[in-house]
Structure 1
Amino acid sequence: MNLNSLSSTFLLIAFFVYIAAFLFFVLSIIGRRWSNRNPEEHTKSWGKFAFIVSVIGFLCQLTYFFTRWYDGGRIPTANMYEFMTFLGMMIMLAFIIVYLIYRTPALGIFALPVGFIIIAYASVFPSEIQPLIPALQSYWLKIHVTTAAAGEAFFAIGFAGGLMYLLRAIDFKGTTKQNKREQRGIEFTIFVVLVLVCFIGSVFTFHGFGYESTFSKEVTIVRDGVQTVETEEEMYVLPPIVKPHGTEIVKLQPFLGMTKPLFEAPSWMKGGNAGRQLNTMIWSILLGIILYGLIRLIARKPLGAAMSPLLKDMDSEDLDEISYRAIAIGYPVFTLGALIFAMIWAQEAWGRFWGWDPKEVWALITWLFYAVFLHLRLSKGWQGKKSAWLAVIGFLVVMFTLVGVNLIISGLHSYAGV
């Protein structure tokens, strides 16, 4: 077994160990109703065991990280596969740090899925070790990317804490307008998470089975004042509900009787892969609706109401504190990595500190959002539900910065979305 295969094996082991740790954390909470021991003792012992398993998973992923670094001769954070696996590892590290402070087993139920979903998302991208493009051949790659990811990891823990607080504090039996609004907000948040899971699962599954459909169109290219007509192809790994605008079918694998796309992407959708991105979004939402409906059918109640009893013994003030402290730790780290170090590197790589590139803009939006969060928390006394909602919304902004900007909006950072 070569070093690259060994590295991938350790990542796969870490992924399944994280899932096992998550299940143990679940058992620490829901298993106490069947345990003969004191419920608090049951939660404490199983929570401790689940935490040890989490640490083992983190050590496995740390082994993956350093073996890949040694094999590739550079820090493995240069493309989407490497960055997302690194972000997953940083989320686990942030979880370990916060858990050691608060010793709250329920945190593992909400924080660990964020980590292993991020790692699963990484598997969508090519995993081969690729040579660095010139813009990335700098020691700032180590400094900028690692600190930015570390800050985002603590934001993820803040999201988990905020979501836990809302599930604990919202009255799911209430019938007032505010109760209904809060209940819908929680359901929408859970639905967004399920859509992301369906996106990852669908792309991974169809790609694993070798599904492929290809479309082509002729485009006019001008090079050195000379016009040439070239054929541009766009490849799908999901069955094409929608095809790219103005293209012809080159290859289409039938799926569930679907022998041609249902409709064509609108002409105003410009840019490379616009049709494929719309097709992926449609599939993700459709599958998310189906998955949400199936879980609702099993639970026989809104998912927020079904999850809320898991946290009935938790102190809501502790959950509020966990969310705030995680964000308070992550914010200065994110400020250094995503803004200050990024601007210094941009000056070296492109000759300017700021260029309104989409990734730069959304990093700034993220930074401003959490600045507002901390201002409202410290100066205006926004605690409890208000603070928790901001923590949840803030991480959705982070996820759009990571997923939407890299895969939908083109810019100087598009190399990350290979």
Structure 2
Amino acid sequence: MNTETVSGTFLLIAFILYTLSFITFVIAVTGKKWSSRDPERHAKRWGTIGLSVTILGFASQLVFFFTRWAAAGHIPTSNMFEFMTFLAMMIVLAFIVVYLIYKTSVLGMFAMPVGVIILAYALVFPPDIQPLIPALQSYWLKIHVTTAALGEAFFAVGFAGGLMYLIRVVNYSGTSKTDRRERRGVEFVIFVVLLIVAFVGSVFLFKGLGYEASFSQETTRIDQSGKEIVETGTVDYVLPPIVKPYNSTVVEMKPFLGMTEPPFTAPSWMNGVNAGRKLNTFIWSVIAGLLLYGLLRLVLRKQIGAAIHPAMSGMDAEDLDEISYRAIAIGFPIFTLGALIFAMIWAHEAWGRFWGWDPKEVWALITWLFYTAYLHFRLSRGWQGRKSAWLAVIGFVVVMFTLIGVNLIIAGLHSYAGV
């Protein structure tokens, strides 16, 4: 068994242990209601078990990380598979740190799923070890990426704390316009999380079924001399093509629900790299997300937030608000160092300038400005409770767009991260 195989095995073990730890924390929180003897002792015991399983999972992922580093010959944070697995590991580390401070099991019920979903999303990408491109062959790769990811990990825990607070304080029996608006807002956040879960599940399902589709696409570009050059490339799909690339022909397509030809073509103005496939992925994510959400609503017969709400009834809302704020307060200076200061130093070494308005740089700045505003409103304007929680939730949405949307949709100097 080679090092790469060992590495993948330990990543799978970590994924299983993280999932088990989430289940354990759910038992710790919900089991208090059916533990007639000593609910607090029950919660403490299962919370300790959950933390132990989490630490074992983290240790397994550390083994994955260092064995892959040994196999690759460089720190494994250079593409989407490697970076997202590393981010998941940092989210778990941030959770462990915050949990040891506050020792509340309900945090595990919300923070661990974020780590599990991020890790599952990473597994969608090809796990093959790739050589570093010249731009990444620097010791700054270790410094910049690791610190930026650690800061974002604490933002993820802040997101979990903010969502916990909102589910705890929203009035699910109220009939006022404000109550209904808050319920819709929380439900939309839950739907977005389910959207990602459904997307990951769809990819694994069709990969398991061996589904494939391939298109030959002609693209036109203008070279530096102004000459028009026509190029032909192949675009491969894992999900059944509802939308095919613009100006393309079918090379191979397995029938799906009677379809032997995609019913739609991506519009001509969507001329980015693999734009048709990305549009198809988005459509499948929405379809799968709606199906999953609808199934859960059918089973629960109420809003998902309303179903979770009773489990939060014993939590102090101020404690949840404090957890969210502290996590973001810890992550902000780390993110500032990693995503801005270290990034600008590396940019100067690699490209001869500190700042170049590259899309990734711009969105990293937007993220930093957002959390700067969060801390300003929190500390200077007294924005606590609901306002603070909503900012924590929205802030992590900005983080995820910076990590996923910019890498996979917007072309720029950081586009190699989407490979």
Residue equivalent to 2:302 = 301
Q: Residue type of the partner of 1:100? A: L
TM-score where L is the length of structure 2: 0.97
Q: Residue type of the partner of 1:111? A: A
Greater Cα offset, 155-164 or 408-417? 408-417
5+ residue gaps, structure 2 = none
Residue equivalent to 1:176 = 176
Residue equivalent to 2:23 = 23
Residue equivalent to 1:218 = 218
**C-alpha displacement at 1:227, in angstroms?**
5.5
| Aligned counterparts of 1:223 and 1:245: Cα–Cα separation in 2 | 21
| Aligned counterparts of 1:198 and 1:149: Cα–Cα separation in 2 | 24
Residue equivalent to 2:101 = 101
| Aligned counterparts of 1:266 and 1:217: Cα–Cα separation in 2 | 14
Q: Is 1:315–2:316 an aligned residue pair?
A: yes
Residue equivalent to 2:376 = 375
Give matches, 1:403-414, under 5 Å. 403-414=404-415
| Aligned counterparts of 1:265 and 1:386: Cα–Cα separation in 2 | 39
Q: Residue type of the partner of 2:337? A: L
Give matches, 1:252-267, under 5 Å. 252-267=253-268
**C-alpha displacement at 1:223, in angstroms?**
5.8
Q: Residue type of the partner of 2:145? A: V
Q: Residue type of the partner of 1:5? A: T
Q: Residue type of the partner of 2:4? A: N
Q: Counterpart of 2:32 in 1: which secondary structure? A: helix
Q: Residue type of the partner of 1:171? A: N
Residue equivalent to 1:149 = 149
Asked whether the equivalents of residues 162 and 393 of structure 2 are also in contact (C-alpha less than 8 Å), the reply is yes
| Aligned counterparts of 2:128 and 2:39: Cα–Cα separation in 1 | 47
| Aligned counterparts of 2:307 and 2:388: Cα–Cα separation in 1 | 23
**C-alpha displacement at 1:255, in angstroms?**
1.0
**C-alpha displacement at 1:262, in angstroms?**
1.6
**C-alpha displacement at 1:90, in angstroms?**
0.3
Residue equivalent to 2:234 = 233
- Once the two structures are superposed, residues 250-296 of structure 1 have per-residue CA deviations (whole angstroms, 9 ceiling, x without a partner) of 11111122222121111111211111111100000011011000000
Give matches, 1:70-89, under 5 Å. 70-89=70-89
Residue equivalent to 2:56 = 56
Asked whether the equivalents of residues 147 and 334 of structure 2 are also in contact (C-alpha less than 8 Å), the reply is yes
Q: Percent identity?
A: 67
Residue equivalent to 1:9 = 9
- Once the two structures are superposed, residues 87-146 of structure 1 have per-residue CA deviations (whole angstroms, 9 ceiling, x without a partner) of 000000000000000000000000000001111111111111111000000000000000
CA root-mean-square deviation = 1.3
Residue equivalent to 1:186 = 186
**C-alpha displacement at 1:208, in angstroms?**
3.3
Asked whether the equivalents of residues 217 and 245 of structure 2 are also in contact (C-alpha less than 8 Å), the reply is no
| Aligned counterparts of 2:222 and 2:183: Cα–Cα separation in 1 | 54
Asked whether the equivalents of residues 140 and 346 of structure 2 are also in contact (C-alpha less than 8 Å), the reply is yes
Q: Counterpart of 1:32 in 2: which secondary structure? A: coil
- Structure 1 residues 217 and 311, CA gap change in structure 2 (3 angstroms): same
| Aligned counterparts of 2:63 and 2:37: Cα–Cα separation in 1 | 37
- Structure 1 residues 223 and 298, CA gap change in structure 2 (3 angstroms): same
| Aligned counterparts of 1:221 and 1:110: Cα–Cα separation in 2 | 47
Give matches, 1:328-367, under 5 Å. 328-367=329-368
- Once the two structures are superposed, residues 331-369 of structure 1 have per-residue CA deviations (whole angstroms, 9 ceiling, x without a partner) of 000000000000110111111111111111111110000
Residue equivalent to 1:67 = 67
Greater Cα offset, 124-133 or 180-189? 124-133
| Aligned counterparts of 1:291 and 1:94: Cα–Cα separation in 2 | 29
Q: Counterpart of 2:173 in 1: which secondary structure? A: coil
5+ residue gaps, structure 1 = none
| Aligned counterparts of 2:160 and 2:340: Cα–Cα separation in 1 | 24
- Once the two structures are superposed, residues 365-407 of structure 1 have per-residue CA deviations (whole angstroms, 9 ceiling, x without a partner) of 1000000000000000000000000000000111111111111
- Once the two structures are superposed, residues 283-317 of structure 1 have per-residue CA deviations (whole angstroms, 9 ceiling, x without a partner) of 00011011000000111100111111111000101
| Aligned counterparts of 1:280 and 1:89: Cα–Cα separation in 2 | 26
**C-alpha displacement at 1:243, in angstroms?**
1.1
TM-score where L is the length of structure 1: 0.98
| Aligned counterparts of 2:318 and 2:209: Cα–Cα separation in 1 | 47
| Aligned counterparts of 1:60 and 1:370: Cα–Cα separation in 2 | 32
- Structure 1 residues 78 and 195, CA gap change in structure 2 (3 angstroms): same
**C-alpha displacement at 1:219, in angstroms?**
3.3
**C-alpha displacement at 1:209, in angstroms?**
2.8
Q: Residue type of the partner of 2:50? A: A
Q: Residue type of the partner of 1:16? A: I
Residue equivalent to 1:268 = 269
